[in-house]
Amino acid sequence: MGKLVHVNSSWTLFLDRDGVINERVFGAYILKYEDFRFKKGVLETSKELFGKFGRVIVVTNQQCVSKGLISQDSLNLLHQKMTLDFQNAGARIDQVYAAIERKDEAPFMRKPNPMMAELAQMEFPQIDFNKSIMVGDTDVDLKFGKTLGMRTVLIRSAEIITVEPDLELDQLGDLIEFI
């Protein structure tokens, strides 16, 4: 397969967290950083991959907060530590947006709703969704990207997918070959 797109610093990379950046635990939540495991090759390839984009944004559904399993402060700390690990690998995450409400509850930030991307665009007005790639491992990730006009990349997992992505990969670092 050829190139998905040719990216430069005017492009934005949107990433799901669980199943893309770190190992997803099906049927459970990552509630402390000690249980957070980067997926194979993510840290090692992040400097080169993230460096091709003007912005790198993480958008993650985390209803574990509204379920009372983890506090908002603890989730923020987990994301700070994740971001620091990327910094130590020479890569940057510009912002992490987490939808903490339960499914079908206000404020409806959860993917596939576009609110987290809209918040990112308000914070970073140079974001153009037509010059963005959404990488995820679920239908809601792909729907989120497609609704906004982004290119979509699926990281294969045990998840059953019904939405057709623009590209399917085994791991995030493989995206380098297609941009």
Could you list the active site residues? 16, 18
User: In terms of DSSP bridges, do strands 55-61 and 95-99 run parallel, antiparallel, or are they unpaired?
Assistant: parallel
Q: Please tell me whether the peptide bond between 114 and the residue prior to it is cis, using omega within 30 degrees of 0.
A: no
Contact 167, 151 (CB under 8 A): yes
Report the b/e string of 80-101 with b at 16+ CB within 10 A: eebbebbeebebebbbbbbbbb
- Distance, in Å, from the CA atom of 99 to the CA atom of 138, rounded to the nearest integer, reads 16
Report the b/e string of 50-62 with b at 16+ CB within 10 A: bebbbbbbbbbbb
Q: What are the tokens at 6?
A: 């040719």
